[in-house]
Amino acid sequence: MKQLFLCALLLPALCLSQDFLDEDYLYLKRHEYIKVDMNKKTFTLEKNVYESAKYQTAKKMYFANESIYYDSFSVIEDIEAYTYHPETDKTTKVDYIETKRAFDNGIFYSDQESKNFIFPAVRKGAITNLRYNEIIKDPHFMGLFRFGTFVPTKEAKLTVEFPKHVTVGYIEFNTESITVDLKKTTKGKKNIYTWSINDIAGFQAEDDTEDPLHYLPHIIVYIKSYEHKGKTYNVLNDVNDLYKWYTTLVERIDSKNLNKVYKIAESLTKDLSTKHDKAEAIFNWVQDNITYVAFEDGLGGFIPRGAASVCEKRYGDCKDMANLLFEMLNHVDIEAYRTWIGTRNRPYSYYEVPTPMVDNHMIAAAVIEKDTIFLDATDRYVPYGMPSGFTQTKEALIGIDANNFKIVKVPLQEPNTSVTKVNSAIRLENGSIKVDEQRLLSGYEKVNMVSDYTYKKADKTEEEFLNTTLTLGNNKTKYSNIKKTHFDNSRTPLELSYTLHIDNYSKTIGKKTFINLNIDKTLSKSKIDNINSRKYSKKIDYKFEKKYTTSFTVPDGYKVNAIPKDFAFEHPNYSFQINYTQDGATIIQHKTIKINTLSIQKSEFESWNTFIKSLIKAYKKSIIIEQIS
């Protein structure tokens, strides 16, 4: 029964071969054995890792390159690795291991290192074996175990051995469709929990989907508490303990020499009367003046650097900016708090996962007239009042004081907060068309445009950037009179205007000329491919709305021959309406497109594709004008 259930859900991969015979490379075994020991009130944690993998072809020989990553919270010991050739019964050992660092685009300096080696003599049929110990220095960082990875696994097993006076918590993710076997046994003074699963298919990434943590089956195991001399001591029993631990880190923030910081806060707000205006001024200042540079160095990866230092250096990471905002806002009497949060990449809740795995980000939260405003200055262009897009819907852990916190959900931003309004006036001139267009972008629509304009423009000219970003008309569209105002992080919409000159766009045959008013065919490439084999939902970054008003001036000597009929697609999560009206010599098209969801579930794929297909169909309709003879 178990097999059948598995088969139905993982049909495409498993039907090919239950034994993964078609796979180039697979894990025969992936075992982790975590040993928790206590000496009085101190934990020692050791993780024994064992991996065995088989090369069924010579195509994926790059898997022979092995890297074991670790940071200053753990130590890697006793690496033993070798390649085994079943056909000759010969073994070749790894005899060279190198410790390396890497530069990361997102983190400027990190204490993460890796042990690197290559499995020798890997070829078709080879089996590699790896065993090592990881000493975990801090009981808060037990990490997670993946039952499934991107490579198929014949046998995955996690064992945790811990003293009976210790309580261990665990929570599984994405295991709804598979059966993980859990055995609880005891050995002397120890409890032993073992989770195991066999024949789990490889997970393949898909386009536009959530972070792999949303679909890879995995488990988080953590230490809840222990008993000592009849008393119970909590480690990470629930979010209260996580917060308690966070406050011990917050206590270590350097909060000296804040005079300069206070002076800036004062000068920014001295002429402003409302708290909102003051908070906005401070938020914008931090966005504008503190550049994101991240250092992850031991607990320095968790403790914000002092506001005075961040302000002086003019750079910092998320927690540094959050703490600076906290200091500046409170100084001008705005109630503000340091706030922990997991971005949309983390599929966890504070109520379920009371470990540092739950979050990966820090922001500030201000409370003004009972409104909670989430302030994420790492997003350089997000307007005051809106949370950063990647924190929407997520739980924020707002640190009130040493003993109190609040968990508040970051509100989902509705489509009417991220709007693109497009006004276009099209006219026909000597066979080509000219368009005067103005775009007003607000919310995340603005954030994305300003950010792309600033960073992706790269070496391109503005014209080439706009042409390849907006893809209006055809690939010969020429831009002139490009103007942009409110190109910043303010709440005022970004205004972008230009004149387009598009050759070969309208088509004249005989006396009739065909002109398609949909010069912007937004979303036409958004069909979800392979909907039968695709497994995971499509991720949408934010809800938005696009509103077009397009007018076409019928040239002298022409009459209107045909106007497309109105078109619409209605669905609560995605919809569009297009209608045409004629007013004398002017044809006006109104078009509204609304996306009202952050995710398209598998069950909705068909409906979404119908939406896109209807939109494409509507985009195909041209107006026809005819020369009056």
Partner 1 sequence: MIKQITLLALLVVTSITFAQHYKTYDWESQPRLHELSEAEKKSSSVRILQYHIVEYATAASNGKLKIFETTHNITRVNDDKGIDRHNTVYIPMYGVNNVVDIKARTLNSEGKITELNKDNIKEVKNVETYGDFKIFAIEGVEKGSEIEVLYTVEKTYDRHGSQTIQSDFPIRKAEFLFITGKLNENIKAYRTINQFETTSVNGKNAKVLKLNAVPAMIKEEYATPNANKIEVVYQCFPKEQNITQDMFWNNVVTNVGSQLFPEKYPEIVKTDVTAIVKDLNAPTRFQIVNLVDDYIKTNFTVIKNNNPDLSNLEYILTNRTASEFGILKVYAHYLKALEIEYEVVLTANRFQFKFDPDFFNPNALRDFLIYIPQEKKYIAPGQIEYRLGEAPFNILGNYGVFISKNLEYYFSKIIQNDKNYSRTMRSSNISFGKDLEYVTLEQHHEYTGFWSVTNRAVLNLSTEQALKQFEDYLTGSGIEDKVILSYETKNTEMLQQTYNLPFIVNCKLQSEALLEDAGDSYIFQIGKVIGTQSELYQETDRLNPIEMTYPNQYDYTLTINIPEGYEAEGLESINIKKNYIAVNGTEIAKFESKYEQNGNQIIITIQEFYKTHEFDLHRYEEFRTVINAASDFNKAAILIKPKG
CB 522 within 8 A of CB 592: no
Q: How far is the CB of 86 from partner 1 (least distance, A)?
A: 16
CB 156 within 8 A of CB 30: yes
Q: Specify the pairing of strand 90-93 against strand 574-583.
A: unpaired
Residue 475: helix, strand or coil by DSSP?
coil
Q: Which H helix or E strand runs over 286?
A: helix 275-289
CB 237 within 8 A of CB 356: no
What is the C-alpha to C-alpha distance for residues 374 and 55, in angstroms, rounded to an integer? 50
Nearer to partner 1, 154 or 380 (CB): 380
Nearer to partner 1, 196 or 614 (CB): 614
Q: How far is the CB of 461 from partner 1 (least distance, A)?
A: 4
DSSP state of 618: H
Q: How far is the CB of 141 from partner 1 (least distance, A)?
A: 23
Q: How far is the CB of 3 from partner 1 (least distance, A)?
A: 23
Nearer to partner 1, 324 or 410 (CB): 324
Nearer to partner 1, 206 or 241 (CB): 206
Q: How far is the CB of 96 from partner 1 (least distance, A)?
A: 4
Q: What are phi and psi of 359, to 5 degrees?
A: -130, 165
Q: How far is the CB of 22 from partner 1 (least distance, A)?
A: 12
Residue labelled with tokens 């790894």: 94
What is the C-alpha to C-alpha distance for residues 459 and 469, in angstroms, rounded to an integer? 14
Q: Which residue, among 574, 231, 288, has the nearest Cα to 454 in the 3D structure?
A: 288
What is the C-alpha to C-alpha distance for residues 74 and 138, in angstroms, rounded to an integer? 8
Nearer to partner 1, 461 or 581 (CB): 461
365-370 CB contacts, 8 Å cutoff, 24+ apart: 365/336, 365/337, 365/339, 365/396, 365/398, 365/408, 366/279, 366/325, 366/329, 366/334, 366/335, 366/336, 366/337, 367/335, 367/336, 367/337, 368/275, 368/276, 368/279, 368/334, 368/335, 369/275
Q: How far is the CB of 123 from partner 1 (least distance, A)?
A: 5
Q: How far is the CB of 273 from partner 1 (least distance, A)?
A: 27
Nearer to partner 1, 177 or 461 (CB): 461
Nearer to partner 1, 166 or 441 (CB): 441
Nearer to partner 1, 118 or 588 (CB): 118
Q: Which H helix or E strand runs over 517?
A: none
Nearer to partner 1, 264 or 334 (CB): 264
Q: How far is the CB of 52 from partner 1 (least distance, A)?
A: 19
| CA-to-CA dists, residue 139 to 235, 246, 410, angstroms | 8, 14, 30
Residue labelled with tokens 């993982």: 10
